Structure 1
Amino acid sequence: MSETTPLLALPLLAAAQAQKHVTHNEALVLLDAATQLAVLDRTRAAPPATPLPGDRHIVAAGASGAWAGRAGDIALYDSGWRFLTPRAGWRAYVAGEARSLLFDGVAWREALAFTPSGATATLRTVEEEVNLAGAFVASTLLVPNRAICLAVASRTVTAVTGATSYEVGISGETSKFGGLLSIAAGASNIGVIGPQAFYADTPLRVTAVGGSFTGGRVRLVLSFLAFTL
């Protein structure tokens, strides 16, 4: 009989084994790491300097030090580093990105669907807070080329000054995702549109109404479908 389980490689007790608790506890630690899998991040190629017991990471490409050769694996800290090798179908929540990933047998993906050759369809939501000044502010948030935009939500984080209201949209369609929006702190809007394809990287824009911005801060949240070959 194998000394480990076939899927999670948990150590098995042997007949008449001494110190069975050591093997049993080892299996529990690995099972604890794999169940309800959530990692801190997936961008580290080297271990953090001061890890805490229970910390988990997806090891990034080019791993070095104690993580050398473990790219794509789950690194678990428990008085030392242990590793779990994912299998196709594993899911992990990345706390640092508030995003769920799926392991396809080769790599971790954030796709809703994908093909064996790597083509993907992915639902993405990204956000940015914009400081307001002047007639309009172009956000660094872009509706990507060949993406389908679904919605842009906005929230007035800090009360807007200098304008009586504002619009959220893009160049040429400044109120596409909302017009006459409130300048009061806490005001919000969800600008849902019919799914629309974009064929160039298109920045979001916050435009002043009734005067130019002299202050204020707005949070934008962009939701879109992205595709890869």
Structure 2
Amino acid sequence: MSETTPLLALPLIAAAQAQKHVTHNEALMLLDAATQPAVIDRGRTTPPGAPMAGDRHLVAAGASGEWAGHDGEIALYDAGWRYLLPRAGWRVYVAAERITLVHTGVDWSDLIAGTPSGGMAALRASEIEVDLAGAWVASGLVIPNRAICLCVASRTLVTVTGASAYEVGIAGESDKFGAGLGAAAGSSNIGVIGPQAFYADTPLRVSAVGSAFTGGRVRLVLTTLAFAI
């Protein structure tokens, strides 16, 4: 008889085993971690300095120290580190990024559809905060090459000064995702467009209306469909 369950590798109590509660409690801890799995983040290669009981992390590639040899596994802290080895079809929510990943049997992916050979489609959202100065500001947020852009939303975080309003767009189309946007803190816009493919990395920019920016801060959220073959 196997010493562990075939799917979650939960330890089984052996016949006439002493201290059965130890094995039973260990199985419960692993089951607790594997049920509705959610992790704090997925970018760490070494454990955090002061973990709390129940903390879970998705171990990044190239892990070292206590996490060495556990790349791609879910690390659970309980007075020490335990690990869950994922299988194809497992899903995990990454709280730091507010995304759900699925395990393909090879690695974790944000795909929403895929093929056996690795083709995939993914719906992605990313955000950035931009300090405003001058006639326009390159945001640092880029529509990727070979992606379909769906929307660029914006919110004024700190009241815009200098300019009477602002636009969100790209080079040559400064108002593609919104024109005459509010300078007051709290103003927002959802810049939905008809799905458009982009064939080069295309930075987003924020442009001043009326006069140059002398201050202010906005947040941009870019939503795209991405693909792989």
Unaligned stretches of 5+ residues in structure 1: none
In structure 2, the partner of 1:33 is 33
Bigger shift: residues 95-104 or 150-159: 95-104
CA shift, 1:111, in A, is: 1.0
Distance 1:66 1:223 in 2: 37
In structure 1, the partner of 2:66 is 66
**Could you tell me the percent identity over the aligned residues?**
72
In structure 2, the partner of 1:142 is 142
Distance 2:24 2:211 in 1: 70
Q: Deviations over 1:93-136 (max 9, x none)?
A: 11122211100111001111122222221111011111111111
In structure 1, the partner of 2:216 is 216
In structure 1, the partner of 2:2 is 2
CA shift, 1:218, in A, is: 0.8
Residue 112 of structure 1 aligns to a residue whose secondary structure is strand
The alignment's TM-score, normalised by the length of structure 1, stands at 0.96
AA of the residue aligned to 1:95:
A
CA shift, 1:185, in A, is: 0.7
In structure 2, the partner of 1:111 is 111
Distance 1:146 1:94 in 2: 26
Alignment root-mean-square deviation, CA: 1.2
Unaligned stretches of 5+ residues in structure 2: none
Distance 1:60 1:163 in 2: 44
Q: Which structure 1 residue ranges, 4+ long, deviate > 4 Å from structure 2?
A: none
AA of the residue aligned to 1:29:
M
Distance 2:69 2:164 in 1: 58
In structure 2, the partner of 1:205 is 205
CA shift, 1:60, in A, is: 1.5
Distance 2:154 2:118 in 1: 34
Residue 26 of structure 1 aligns to a residue whose secondary structure is helix
AA of the residue aligned to 2:119:
A
